Structure 1
Amino acid sequence: MGRKAGGIYINPKRFGALHKPCMKEMITFLNCLSLGHNNDEKCVRQKDLLNVCMDAQSNSNRKAWGSINYHLQRLNRGRK
């Protein structure tokens, strides 16, 4: 069970923490909600900034390339 010995593998969970695009906007919105006692009418500006950031990160802008491990396996097959 598991991977073959000598194969190339990258743990994608390790690199997931590197890129969090809308974290700053989300934190400011959640802080505003906590200060405003969950009243989102007071946090319209932060909510709009978060929505703009999330819309910019939509999957329609990206190409589906597959996982990095899939491509490493393809390169490794061609090398043998």
Structure 2
Amino acid sequence: MGRKAGTLYINPKKFGNLQKPCMKEMMSFLNCLALTQGNDEKCSRQKSLLSACMNAQTGNKRKPWGNINYHLQRLNRGRK
């Protein structure tokens, strides 16, 4: 199990912020919920911003990086 020595590999955790487009809106909504003791009626503005951001992301089903490690392994096999 694990990776073979000498293979090309990209750590996907370095590109974590590419996969989290609505994080700012979600954090503002959760902070508002924490400040109002879970009353989401007072956080309607943050809730609508989060919903709008999430609805905008539904069209982007394709990952921008795809499975890059798979393709790097394929290139490495052809080089040998």
Listed as ranges, the gaps of 5+ residues in structure 1 are: none
- How many residues in Structure 1 have an aligned counterpart in Structure 2? 78
Runs of 4+ aligned residues of structure 1 deviating over 3 Å after TM superposition are none
Following the alignment from structure 2 to structure 1, what is the Cα–Cα distance between the partners of residues 69 and 9? 6
Following the alignment from structure 2 to structure 1, what is the Cα–Cα distance between the partners of residues 15 and 66? 15
Listed as ranges, the gaps of 5+ residues in structure 2 are: none
| TM-score normalised to structure 1 length | 0.75
Question: Which residue of 1 is the match for residue 61 of structure 2?
Answer: 62
1:10-25 to 2 correspondence within 5 Å?
10-16=10-16, 18-19=17-18, 20-25=20-25
Q: Alignment identity in percent? A: 72
1:38-77 to 2 correspondence within 5 Å?
38-58=38-58, 60-63=59-62, 66-77=66-77
Q: 1:36-80: CA deviations, max 9, x gaps?
A: 22111111111011011112223x523367421111112222333
Backbone CA RMSD of aligned residues: 2.1
